[in-house]
Amino acid sequence: MTKPHVDLYWDIGSTNTYFAFKLLQPIVARHGAELVLHPYNLGYVFRNNDYELMKESKAKLRYRKRDLMRWAEKHQLPFQIPRQFPIKSSRVLRGSLAMRQKGLEVAFVEAALEAYWEQGNAGIVEYAGLRPIAERLGVDPDWFEATSASDETGALLAKSTDDAVARGVFGVPMMFVGDEMFWGKDRLDFMEDELARATA
């Protein structure tokens, strides 16, 4: 029997990715499943779809902030809305693929999400800001930066995003259990129901 898994498509630029990532892990562990990460270049997809992130009304943006703080409070997460937003996420996404080679993808993504969404550290958009994370995880920062910046990694990231779009992923955080797709931090209960069925 293969170990059941949950696919998570993520981008650090997505607030809800932060929440989903944090709330997903205990669920995955509870069911003895594995978390499989897929970087998804949201900016790239949005550019191709003429999406304008900041087009929403003031009332809606104000509500969204309130809603995020409610989630943080309910789940006791030290979330803060960063001053710099949106950010360019491609280096973090590339970095995750480099760290995958060391078996440290999940730890790296978690550290980057915390740096940005808890500490408001927008320095992670550059390799200079990511190198200390790699180093803390025991990875040579020169190797980390060279591997992240390589053409191979760039092609892998493009393929990860293209494959996701082909699978029907139109945004993040998107999760799959088998072929069942779940979108957003507020569908984790449905995702867990499906995971329970899949692992029964």
Residues 140-169 that bind a copy of itself (CB under 8 A): 168-169
Q: Does 187 bind a copy of itself (CB under 8 A)?
A: yes
Q: How far is CA 12 from CA 90, 140, 145, in A?
A: 9, 22, 18
CA angle 63, 64, 67 (to 5 degrees): 85
CA–CA distance, 46 with 153 (Å, rounded to integer): 21
**Residue 62 binds a copy of itself (CB under 8 A):** yes
Instruction: Mark the segment that binds a copy of itself (CB under 8 A) among 28-36, 89-97, 154-162, 187-195.
Output: 187-195
**Dihedral pair phi/psi, residue 75, rounded to 5°:** -100, 10
CA dist., res. 191 & res. 200, Å (int): 14
Q: Report in angstroms how near the CB of residue 75 gets to a copy of itself at its nearest.
A: 12
Work out how close the CB of 60 gets to a copy of itself at its nearest, in angstroms, rounded to a whole number. Answer: 5
Residues of the shown chain interacting with a copy of itself in the complex, contacts defined by CB under 8 A: 49, 57, 59-60, 62-63, 66-67, 70, 74, 168-171, 181, 183, 186-187, 190, 193
